[in-house]
Amino acid sequence: MSSVEASRGPGRPREAGHDERILDAVIGLIERDQKVTVSAVVAASGVSRAALYRRWPSLPELVAAALDKGRATIEIDTSGDIKEAIVSMMFGDPVAVRGSTYSDRRFRARMALVMQNPELQRAYWT
């Protein structure tokens, strides 16, 4: 038995691929400017409500996870001038900052959604 299996709680094993299907469904809804609801995610992903809630305890946490999917990890070189490094990161190559698979449209949607919803702000920044 692997350490993952040993640390897993009771119940059936999780279906492989459900996380990706759920996150892709949320991203698809956001990119089509559709309202992200549990019912819409269940319909778009083909995954049950129970499976969705086993993975994410709330819709804001799910949306936050989906908005981060494919985003590059930001690393700032602090060995030199920190202000210069931050300015370079913020105003340099946007693809390098976001990641090659993270579209400008998703970045803008992320900002708009987070600014509109205080609960999503808390989930996203945690």
pLDDT values of the chain reduced to their tens digit, one per residue, 126 residues: 433 444 555 545 556 689 999 999 999 998 888 999 999 999 999 999 999 999 998 999 999 898 888 776 777 778 888 888 878 877 777 777 677 777 777 778 778 888 888 888 887 777
Number of alpha carbons in the 13 Å side-chain half-sphere of residue 89: 16
Q: What is the pLDDT of residue 42?
A: 96
Tokens for 40, please give them.
Answer: 């819409």
Question: CA nearest 89: which of 78, 99, 75?
Answer: 75
**Domain parsing of the chain, residue ranges:** 3-125
Handedness of CA 59, 61, 62, 67 (dihedral sign): positive
Q: What is the pLDDT of residue 5?
A: 41
Burial of residue 67 (CB within 10 Å: 0-12, 13-18, 19+) is: buried
